[in-house]
Amino acid sequence: MDHFALVDGAMQCEGVPLQRIANEVGTPVYVYSAATFERHAQVFRDGLAGVKRKHLAYAIKANPNLAVLRLLAKQGYGADVVSLGEMQRALAAGMPASDIVFSGVGKTVGELSAALHAGLGQFNLELEEEGSVLAAIAADRGLVADAVLRVNPDVDAGTHAKISTGKAENKFGVPISDARGIFDRLAPLAGLNLRGVAIHIGSQLSELAPLEAAYRRIGALVQELRAAGHAITHVDLGGGLGVPYKEGDVFPSPAEYGAMVARVTDGWDVELMFEPGRVIAGNAGVLLTRVIWVKPGAGNPYVIVDAAMNDLARPAMYDAWHDFAAVRPTGEKMIANIAGPVCESGDTFAMGREIDVVKSGDLAVFRTAGAYGATMASTYNSRALVPEVLVSGDKFAVVADRIQPETILAAERVPEWLQA
């Protein structure tokens, strides 16, 4: 459920007509609903009511806007970060350093060191060498880094290849069969408290079965490690729960997910950690756009909108579907292709789609754009960086400016030897 709905024939976000946001901020613009974010944060937590000891670390990569992070910090969420930039955001939003988990397959020595200095709560190690380097940095400063080892359970998550992370050939984690040996070698190191294991098998998962299979493998590994004398107090179950993008699609609910987790992890006696991203942010945002032209073509007409692949990359990158809806629908439908102004055929949001009838100047939205939307935006074709707006009740605020091409140009320079 979200808070984008038609009121008197025109779409609103909570109490604010999208038309008003378009008038005051312009388009394209991401519009987020605070009430939806809050609801999702609550629903995810409630779904895990059967899990006694848990830590919720919102995967910042899904939507790292500072205002969004502040809202989630107030809901008691910590963060899962994958770079120092994300760490800075989490801290700036008021999340305690101890509630932040540092994931990422390529943390540099500089990043490990800075994160240790900031007092980050947990390091999710991706390889043995990372553990020994971290241990050495920590021991050198008289510190102890809390860490878990990410293992690759080799399960097929059944999602798009580019967002699948738990198969043996993926770059993430260590093979589960290597985990015991790595624990034996890393656990004794001063500077490291290797306290558990982590997994994350992929994103936009539509079934619980692959997650359950992966969690069962982790459960067996925990037993094996304990039998070998290792103290396992934490297991990080990652993120990955999918959301419906198409009207009518059905996905496992957080309650169903939570029931599965409670059943599978019964008796593990650990603190469970979760890294939800999309399930919190996805349906909390839309990309508001204006139709520039409706261009007749050889086949279906092309609806050319002022949003492009640089603003919402998911269709171009993952063939992703985002529902398209007119802000003031007439009730009539048409079959059309939807594309942006960028000079690539890949800048196409939909082909041969039945959509609300729209004409030049009309406003429309791409739905379910709250996760992996603005954060993946670029300035390709020297377009402005898309702004973000947060709505709460009948008020709204611009929470990220439209960064204009001239601002980006100002950060570039022609070297002296080319100036003559």
Smallest distance from the beta carbon of 198 to ligand LLP, in angstroms?
Answer: 8
Identify which of residues 280 and 391 has a Cβ nearer to ligand LLP in the complex.
Answer: 280
Q: Does 276 bind ligand LLP (CB under 6 A)?
A: yes
Which contiguous run of DSSP H or E holds residue 388?
A: strand 388-392
Alpha carbons 419 and 218: distance in angstroms, whole number = 61
Q: What are phi and psi of 280, to 5 degrees?
A: -85, -45
Q: Does 239 bind ligand LLP (CB under 6 A)?
A: yes
First-last CA distance in the chain: 60
Q: Are residues 325 and 365 in contact, defined by beta-carbon separation less than 8 angstroms?
A: yes
Smallest distance from the beta carbon of 199 to ligand LLP, in angstroms?
Answer: 9
Q: Does 153 bind ligand LLP (CB under 6 A)?
A: no
Burial class (CB in 10 A: 0-12, 13-18, 19+), 19: middle
Identify which of residues 258 and 329 has a Cβ nearer to ligand LLP in the complex.
Answer: 258
In DSSP terms, 392 is beta-bridged to 395
Find the binder of ligand LLP among 121, 131, 196, 277 (CB under 6 A).
277
Q: In what order do the strands lie in the sheet with 16-17?
A: 4-7, 10-13, 16-17
Binding mask 54-93 for ligand LLP (x = CB under 6 A): -----x-xx-----------------x-------------
Tokens of 165: 């992370």
Q: Does 372 bind ligand LLP (CB under 6 A)?
A: yes
Tokens of 123: 């390091």
Q: How many residues bind ligand LLP (CB under 6 A)?
A: 22
278 assigned binding-site residue: yes
- Listed ranges 24-32, 34-42, 198-206, 380-388: which one lies at the site for ligand LLP (CB under 6 A): 198-206
Catalytically annotated residue among 1, 250, 343, 420: 343
17 assigned binding-site residue: no
In DSSP terms, 398 is beta-bridged to 389
275 assigned binding-site residue: yes
86 assigned binding-site residue: no
Q: Does 258 bind ligand LLP (CB under 6 A)?
A: no
Q: Does 322 bind ligand LLP (CB under 6 A)?
A: no
Q: Are residues 384 and 404 in contact, defined by beta-carbon separation less than 8 angstroms?
A: yes
Find the binder of ligand LLP among 33, 204, 265, 289 (CB under 6 A).
204
Instruction: Give the pairing type, strands 100-102 and 145-152.
Output: unpaired
Q: Are residues 4 and 367 in contact, defined by beta-carbon separation less than 8 angstroms?
A: yes
Identify which of residues 59 and 355 has a Cβ nearer to ligand LLP in the complex.
Answer: 59
In DSSP terms, 10 is beta-bridged to 7
Q: Does 196 bind ligand LLP (CB under 6 A)?
A: no
343 assigned to active site:
yes
Q: Does 173 bind ligand LLP (CB under 6 A)?
A: no
Find the binder of ligand LLP among 38, 275, 347, 388 (CB under 6 A).
275
Alpha carbons 276 and 233: distance in angstroms, whole number = 21
Find the binder of ligand LLP among 210, 240, 329, 370 (CB under 6 A).
240
110 assigned binding-site residue: no
Nearest in space to 372 (alpha carbons), one of 45, 14, 58, 60: 60
Q: What are phi and psi of 305, to 5 degrees?
A: -105, 165
- 311-334 burial, b for 16+ CB within 10 Å, e for fewer? bbbbbbebebbbbbbbbbbeeeee
Interface positions with ligand LLP (CB under 6 A): 59, 61-62, 80, 103, 163, 165, 200, 203-204, 238-241, 275-279, 314, 318, 372
Residues designated catalytic: 343
| Binding site per annotation, positions for substrate | 278, 314, 318, 344, 372
| Binding site per annotation, positions | 240, 275-278, 314, 318, 344, 372
